[in-house]
Structure 1
Amino acid sequence: MAQRMRIGELTRRSGVTQRTVRYYESIGLIAAGQREGGGQHYYGEETVARLNKIDQLKQLGLSLDEVSGVIDLYFLDPSGRRPKRKVLAILQRHLADIDDRLDSLESLRAELKVNIEKFEDWLKVAPRD
């Protein structure tokens, strides 16, 4: 029989808070726990695995929206190739975005240097206060 656990055990094993579990349930990243008599929710090992994978993907820099688009692939594709290709594409987009921002910052930096030099030149020839 598969191990069932209540939310306290789930959070202890996965390292997330109960609030995080409830939030992930509300946005569909994990399935809601199965409710049994007394209103208790029970979770299985797959939920622990999903929470761990979500954490790994977040540590790579993926947003929860991006995680949502790839998480199921990890549990549907035993080879792991499809999800890894998708994560690679996301990470490559992140890198391209950062490169664009760096280019923009370099332009801003150059413009600031020019403006600083203009002010310094002006102050050199301007009458003293």
Structure 2
Amino acid sequence: MSMSLQLVLAAAMGLVSVDLFSRAWKGFLGAVAAVVLNRKGWIGRRAMLMRLHGHLALSLLCMLALLASFRVYLDSFGLGGSTAEQMVYLLACVARMAVFFKNFSSDLDALFRTEE
């Protein structure tokens, strides 16, 4: 496999891995938010259970997809060993993480909205 293709795959893996991790983390935070909203009396039990189901399912799916993508990328394809690949992966992760942090406040506020 050519080095340029390896670098493109490293960049794609960097973007995808941060995206999946951030979605899984927001899913977990959504589940916590549902429990907090229920304990405060701002949403009912049924709404809490619906939110828990959605957020925990999203979190689990994203974490499984993340594990599977690393398994395929590292073990099946044997990629990620060169310094250039690792640097491109890191730069792609940093770029995607910057977007995640930029939107995190509004995403967190959305988790605590009580209107259905």
TM-score by length of 1: 0.31
Higher helix share: 2
With the length of structure 2 as denominator, give the TM-score of the two structures. 0.34
Structure with larger Rg? 1
